[in-house]
Structure formats: structure tokens, C-alpha cells
Amino acid sequence: MAESGNILIYGYGNPGRQDDGLGNEIIGLAGDWAKREGIKGLALDSNYQLQVEDVTMIHDRDLVIFVDASMRQDIADYRLEPVQADPRATFTMHSVAPGYILALCREIYGQHPPAYLLHIRGHEWEINEPISDKARENLQKAWVRLRRLIRKPEKAMSAIDDFNSAE
């Protein structure tokens, strides 16, 4: 059995809005892979959005990787960026940003785990449509790199530059 560590991958987005479902889609890939490879210590979750209650899922992790679709023009395919704790609430309806979840974790538990946000570039955002071909290509590229990081989580901090260099 392969060991991974105490890692949470949390994908979020609306799978009913084409490429917005990229975060959820990567959770399916990760679950299938972890089962097939016998990866232990990998927790997976997905939802439409992050909520304050998610702090209970991250507080005791060694590493958290949030995954979301991105509209950012400065991201070609994907990018992994560190998430900094940010106590400023950025509520959108009931959702909050990853930085707020970390800040809340620090406030409640006295610390927070290292966390990253994996942005996967999306291109189409219509309702009830499948993920676009270009976004699916970006998803596959990001997934190949993310698997490597999951296998060697102790190198996650130093691996960010290498992770992004393949763009």
C-alpha cells in the first residue's frame, strides 16, 4: 500500500455550469486513482462552495489542497498557489474564500495546516453543459502534476515552483 500522508483535497464549484465543475471533477479522478493505487491518508471532498463548517475538515491535516476552476487570464492551464490566512470575510451568499477558512481554523484551533489553491483554467460557463474540451485538457495536465505532489507531500512546500513550471 502506498502512503501519502494526512492530505485533504477539496474540490469545489458548480458541475452544472460547464467548466465550473473542474474542482469536483478532480475529486472523482483522485478517488479512482487512490483506490486503484492503494493510497492511504488521502481525504477527498467536494461541494458547490466552501463554507465556514469546512474548518472542521482541515484543522488536523498535514496539507490541504483546494481545487477550483479559474477564469483568470494569467493562468494558461493551471497554477498552484499558497493560500494565506485572511480574516476578512468575503462572503458570496453562503460561501467563503480558502484564506478565510484558514484564518477561522487558526482562530478556533490555534493553527492551520499549510494550504494551496490549485486553479484550473476554465473557458466555458454555461448552464447544464459538459466540461469543455480545453478545460478537460487543463484538468488532465493538472492531475498528472497533482498526483506527483500527493505521492511526496513532505516536499510540497519546495515543489510549488516545479509544479507550476510545466505550464
pLDDT at 118: 97
Read off the pLDDT of residues 23-42 as tens digits, 9 standing for 90 and up: 999 999 999 999 999 998 99
CA 61 to chain centre: 14
Question: For residue 33, what is its C-alpha cell?
Answer: 486513482
pLDDT at 166: 53
pLDDT at 1: 39
Maximal C-alpha separation, the chain? 43
pLDDT at 95: 74
Read off the pLDDT of residues 88-138 as tens digits, 9 standing for 90 and up: 766 555 578 999 999 999 999 999 999 999 999 999 999 977 999 999 999
Read off the pLDDT of residues 45-72 as tens digits, 9 standing for 90 and up: 999 999 999 999 999 999 999 999 999 9
Read off the pLDDT of residues 142-162 as tens digits, 9 standing for 90 and up: 999 999 888 876 665 565 656
Residue 78's nearest CA partner among 126, 137, 7 is 137
**Per-residue CA distances from 130 to 17, 46, 58, 64 (Å):** 8, 18, 30, 27
Distance CA 88, CA 103 (A): 9
